[in-house]
DNA sequence: TTGAAAGCGTTACCAA
DNA sequence: TTGGTAACGCTTTCAA
């Protein structure tokens, strides 16, 4: 049987209410009472029950994290790392992350992630290019949303974005400064805004250095064609 | 305000207890009552509260998933995919997965994952080579454990393992049958039992084909040295 | 500054 | 086959 708030209360000679107040760092608790309670908590190795707490406070202590299945299992661990950081941070704030993947072709009427239906989360983080149909459904659900590395074309939401253009410029400029002139750009889904922006930066840097991009392409078809098939060749977007 | 079991009960003209029985697919409920209740559930879009359920049933509906931080962020998405499959399966069984990473150098006395302390999980899946100190602590905690792709040297636990030796043999044999004779083995942490086993298989296949592995090594030092530094060279284990 | 008690939504036991 | 009711462990309000 797990240790409950009552056990702590008994041990510290106070009421459960007082223990709760101490846990929530309530002000008006005498410092002696507080330390007595904290001691009891430590000695009994007490940890509040999530369920009980959630039931009364109406907070699950969970944050949802939605990723497209093909983004998560990709070779590039980009979103994996974003998840990693998210979990690490949430841990510090005593939250859990519920990660779920959704199919890239999520259709209207498809089941929403269960944590949304059950309202078992207090907010949802969407990483990457999530299908718009899903995003709309989530918006309608009224759950707080945060977008990472992508956001829907219209609307006004909290986002965490990378300055992809600047990144593209930086990377390219660095190579140019190293004396290189024949610089390739290997991308994933070029339709993805982030990647497209990096490509913009890449081209801007080339332009600034007066390197003829178009010509380079023509001379190096062979290299480009040797890319793995799941990478889009940059020529795809050259009209 | 969310829909509760009482709302459903009222709508279906039964007691909350009956609704609960229907949800849990209890036998002794007349089929008409059942369908009436199910209809109400659907119409109200009712989803039971995890917290309330957890409080009384003492089941969190969560499964812990522990991974070493360096394994999760690796370029190779091996464990990522295992997690993906786990989450997918758990989803079907109405469970959530709480993923957390632990440092590769987890030391005795370090904080256990919070979901363990809070007993917010019903069992834990350990993927990959988890530090023994952590494993011991988990074993002592009495939580049900399942190991994936690795298990501690002694003890008797449920494991999910790959036949790595056979895999090593298969891969190598395939290349040999394609007519190749100079076959390299690129590995991650060669101390990892799984990788070591694959290497055994590799060597067995070479031996069977009468390919002189040792000699091959000597002739190809340059190739081996060009591997990225976070890969161990096979020569490391050549005494 | 502290405590008593109500109530959160569900399950499970016992009656009906 | 169904319903009433007492828990489950915690928070919060109100009173002491």
Write the pLDDT tens digit of every residue in A7-61. 999 999 999 999 999 999 776 788 888 999 999 999 999 999 999 999 999 999 9
Q: Is residue A138 part of a domain?
A: yes
Same domain membership, residue A113 and residue A68: yes
Q: How many domains does chain A have?
A: 3
Q: Is residue B239 part of a domain?
A: no
* The domain boundary residue, chosen from B138, B160, B182: B160
Same domain membership, residue A153 and residue A74: yes
Q: Is residue B220 part of a domain?
A: yes
pLDDT at A173 over 70: yes
Any strand D atom closer than 7 Å to B28 CB: yes
* Closest partner CB to B55 (pick from A52, A88, A114): A52
Q: Is residue A237 part of a domain?
A: no
CA distance B45 to B47: 7
Same domain membership, residue A195 and residue A133: no
Same domain membership, residue B116 and residue B28: no
CA distance A39 to A164: 50
**Residues of A with Cβ-Cβ distance to B50 under 8 angstroms:** 51, 54, 60, 118, 120
Asked if A97 and B96 come within 8 Å (Cβ–Cβ), the reply is no
CA atoms within 13 A on the CB side of A199: 20
Number of Cβ pairs < 8 A linking chain A and chain B: 96
Per-residue pLDDT tens, chain B, 239 aa: give them: 689 999 999 999 999 999 999 998 776 788 888 899 999 999 999 999 999 999 999 999 999 999 998 888 777 788 989 999 999 999 999 999 999 999 999 998 899 999 999 999 999 999 999 999 999 999 999 999 999 999 998 889 999 999 999 999 999 999 999 998 888 888 777 778 888 899 999 999 999 998 877 766 666 554 444 444 444 444 433 32
Same domain membership, residue A156 and residue A181: no
pLDDT at A223 over 70: no
CA distance B164 to B194: 6
* Closest partner CB to A55 (pick from B55, B69, B84): B55
In angstroms, how far is C5 C1' from B103 CA? 45
**How far is B129 from chain A, CA to nearest CA, in Å?**
18
* The domain boundary residue, chosen from A57, A75, A99: A57
Asked if A77 and B80 come within 8 Å (Cβ–Cβ), the reply is yes
pLDDT, position A103: 93
Any strand C atom closer than 7 Å to A25 CB: no
In angstroms, how far is D4 C1' from B92 CA? 34
Chain A stretch 147-176, residues whose beta carbon is closer than 8 A to a beta carbon of chain B: none
Asked if B115 and A96 come within 8 Å (Cβ–Cβ), the reply is yes
Strand D nucleotides within 7 Å of a protein CB: 1-5, 7-13
**Residues of B with Cβ-Cβ distance to A52 under 8 angstroms:** 51, 55
Q: Is residue A239 part of a domain?
A: no
3-state SS record for chain B: CCCCHHHHHHHHCCCHHHHHHHHCCCCCCCHHHHHHHHHHHHHHCCCCCHHHHHHHHCCCCEEEEEEEHHHHCCCCCHHHHHHHHHHHHHHHCCCEEEEEEECCCCCCCCCCCHHHHCCCCCCEEEECCCCHHHHHHHHHHCCCEEEECCCCCCCCCCEECCCHHHHHHHHHHHHHHCCCCCCCCCECCCCCHHHHHHHHHHHHHHHHCCCCHHHHHHHCHHHHHCCCCCCECHHHHCC
Same domain membership, residue A151 and residue A79: yes
Chain A stretch 87-126, residues whose beta carbon is closer than 8 A to a beta carbon of chain B: 87-88, 91, 94, 96-101, 114-115, 117-120
Same domain membership, residue B67 and residue B40: no
User: What is the overall mean pLDDT for chain A?
Assistant: 86
Q: Is residue A203 part of a domain?
A: yes
Same domain membership, residue B73 and residue B49: no
What CATH number does the domain containing A111 carry?
Answer: 3.40.50.2300
Structural domain containing residue A44 = 5-57
* The domain boundary residue, chosen from A118, A138, A160: A160
Same domain membership, residue A184 and residue A150: no
Same domain membership, residue A142 and residue A86: yes
pLDDT at A170 over 80: yes
Q: Is residue B236 part of a domain?
A: no
Among chain B residues, the shortest Cα distance to A115 is held by B96
**B6 at interface of A, judged by CB pairs closer than 8 A:** no
Same domain membership, residue B126 and residue B73: yes
CA distance A5 to A44: 10
Share above pLDDT 90 across residues of chain A, in percent, rounded to a whole number: 65
**How far is B87 from chain A, CA to nearest CA, in Å?**
7
Same domain membership, residue A199 and residue A133: no
**Residues of A with Cβ-Cβ distance to B2 under 8 angstroms:** 119
The SS3 of residue A205 is helix
In angstroms, how far is C9 C1' from B98 CA? 23
Chain B residues 57-86, Cβ below 7 A from strand C: 57
Q: Is residue B238 part of a domain?
A: no
**B33 at interface of A, judged by CB pairs closer than 8 A:** no
What CATH number does the domain containing B26 carry?
Answer: 1.10.260.40
Asked if B101 and A88 come within 8 Å (Cβ–Cβ), the reply is yes
**How far is A15 from chain B, CA to nearest CA, in Å?**
21
pLDDT at A94 over 70: yes
Place of tokens 């009472």: A33
Any strand D atom closer than 7 Å to A2 CB: yes
**Residues of B with Cβ-Cβ distance to A96 under 8 angstroms:** 62, 98, 114-115, 120
Q: B96-102 and B124-127: which strand pairing?
A: unpaired
């Amino acid at each position: 049987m797990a240790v409950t708030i009552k056990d702590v209360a008994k041990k510290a000679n106070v009421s459960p209410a007082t223990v709760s107040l101490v846990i929530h760092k309530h002000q008006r608790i005498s410092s002696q009472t507080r330390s007595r309670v904290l001691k009891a908590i430590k000695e009994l190795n007490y940890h509040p029950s999530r369920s009980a707490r959630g039931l009364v406070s109406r907070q699950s202590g969970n944050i949802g994290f939605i990723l497209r299945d093909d983004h998560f299992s990709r070779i590039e661990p980009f979103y994996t790392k974003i998840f990693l950081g998210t979990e690490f941070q949430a841990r510090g704030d005593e939250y859990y992350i519920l990660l779920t993947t959704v199919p890239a072709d999520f259709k209207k009427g498809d089941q929403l992630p269960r944590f949304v239906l059950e309202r078992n989360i207090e907010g949802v983080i969407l990483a990457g290019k999530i299908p718009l149909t899903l995003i709309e459904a989530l918006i309608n659900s009224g759950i707080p949303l945060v977008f990472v590395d992508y956001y829907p074309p219209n609307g006004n939401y909290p986002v965490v974005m990378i300055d992809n253009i600047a990144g593209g410029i930086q990377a390219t400029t660095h190579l140019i400064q190293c004396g290189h002139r024949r610089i390739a750009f290997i991308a994933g889904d070029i339709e993805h805004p982030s990647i497209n922006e990096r490509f913009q930066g890449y081209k801007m840097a080339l332009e600034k250095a007066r390197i003829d991009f178009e010509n380079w392409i023509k001379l190096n078809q062979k290299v480009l064609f040797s890319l793995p098939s799941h990478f889009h060749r940059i020529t795809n977007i050259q009209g």
